[in-house]
Amino acid sequence: MKLQNKIHTYTSLLLAVLLVAIHFSVYFLFSQLSINSRKDQVEATAENIIRGIQRAPASVAAEDLLRAYVPLDGMLRLMNPKGDFLPPITSSSEQSLSLMKSAYNETRQVRMITHENKRYILVSVPMIWTNGEVVNLQVTESLQPTMQTLQVLRIVLVAVTGIALIPVMISGRLLGRLITRPITSMIRTMKEIQRSGKFKRLSLDATSRDELVEMGETFNDMIELLERNFVRQEQFVSNASHELKTPLTIIESYASLLKRRGLQHPNIFAESVEAIHSEAIRMKDMIEQLLHLAKNEEQWNVVLEPVRLTKVATELKATFENAFARQIHLDIQADCIGYTDENKLKQLLFIFLDNARKYSDEPVRLTIDAVGDTPQPCIRITDRGIGIPEDKLSKVFDRFYRVDEARNREEGGAGLGLALATGIAQAIHAHIGLESIQGSGTTATIILPSVPK
């Protein structure tokens, strides 16, 4: 069943049940009040008859006295323990009541009885007769007028229930359409996106601020995010394909050269092997960086813990100097402890140190310090190299972006190092910044979170 039909059915059914319950309660309370009121009236009539009999002269015959008090639609009866004390006296319309069996009651009783499918109120009251004998005065009155009133009330309530259900069903239908309209629009838009392969957004009522509009805005935000990621993914694949194509072309060219002339010319053989080896290493590094960039943040397996930065910097300095024979000046302004992942931090520092090595011939300075009002661990890597033009400084963290295409290729870079550094910094909650003056050098700043207290 569609959501619109469910809303229509459930709301109509619920309101119908509530309406019937309310009308049933009204009928039940009104009928109880009416019957109780009738019982009180018959009981008061019995008391008046007893007082009238007790005040009547002794010369008046008992049958005549009772006939004066007989109800218009009922019966008077006097009974003693042996049975009827006097013959029952009935109104002309209720003569059949005289055939009804009755019994002597020692106590006062007020109850409802049924005779020939008709309902009556019976009041039995003990009294002392004029001769001193204790008898029962039993007054029986018909409930027919009250039942007729209740019958009219039943008809009215059933009619009102039926009439009220019409607007209830119409409002349920309108409510279902109102609620499902944006959902239907969303489904239609999603099917159109699926069919055409193009991202589309919902048209929203800017004046409304209800949850349905909020849901539509969330849908549009999600589509925008998907579109942005899709474009980035396309760009990423395009750039990766282009970057991988270049070393493969070089390898293919040198392999062909080796095949044609390598055995006859040793110098060509050595040059070709060196070029193939160099391009293979560059391609391997590029693929590793691409695989890192393709991972989600959750896949980084980051373990944050207190890490002494002096120890990390000292180990990295020794490793770097041995690997690249490049001197690093370690300047410890403060012995800081950062809350980070040690391996990821080393990887991040290695990226900046490697860049400093590639674009500077001077020793690199590695500084450990604390910055800010609430001092945070800070690492600076400074080189005295060629620097980065100011207008290109904001683009160097983009994937595959190269400040100097020719120089980057010469150094073996693919424009992925700083993009990878951005991903690592986000994973370990570090803030990175880059300051550079063209011709004077570059300083990379890494600010780490403090250890939580």
Indicate the fold that domain 3-151 takes in CATH: Beta-Lactamase (3.30.450)
Q: Note the CATH number of domain 211-294.
A: 1.10.287.130
- pLDDT for 34: 93
pLDDT score recorded for residue 159: 93
Entry pTM: 0.48
**Class (C level, CATH) for 299-447:** alpha beta
Q: Which residues pair with 376 in a beta bridge?
A: 371
Q: Would you call 147 exposed, middle or buried from its count of C-beta atoms within 10 A (0-12, 13-18, 19+)? A: middle
Token readout for 331 is 């300047």
N-to-C CA span, the chain? 56
Domain residues of the chain, as ranges? 3-151, 211-294, 299-447
Shortest CA distance to 357 belongs to which of 380, 327, 330?
A: 327
- Whose tokens are 């009133």? That residue is 149
Smallest Cα–Cα separation from 49: which of 153, 145, 155, 123?
Answer: 123
Residue 2 burial (C-beta neighbours within 10 Å; 0-12, 13-18, 19+)? exposed
User: How confident is the prediction along the chain (453 residues), in pLDDT tens digits per residue?
Assistant: 777 788 888 888 888 899 899 999 999 999 999 999 999 999 998 998 888 888 877 777 777 878 888 888 889 888 888 888 788 888 888 888 888 888 888 888 898 888 888 899 999 998 888 778 888 889 999 998 899 999 999 999 999 988 988 888 888 888 888 888 878 888 888 888 888 888 888 887 777 777 878 888 888 898 888 888 888 778 777 767 777 777 788 788 888 888 887 777 777 788 888 888 877 887 887 787 777 766 655 566 788 999 999 999 998 888 888 777 788 899 999 888 999 999 889 888 988 988 888 888 888 999 999 988 888 999 999 998 888 888 888 788 877 777 665 555 555 566 777 888 888 888 889 999 989 888 888 999 999 999 887
Are the folds of 3-151 and 211-294 the same?
A: no
- The per-residue pLDDT for 391 is 81
Which token pair is 5? Answer: 């039909």
**pLDDT score of 303:** 86
Which residue spans within 228-363 are E strands per DSSP? Answer: 305-308, 328-332, 337-340
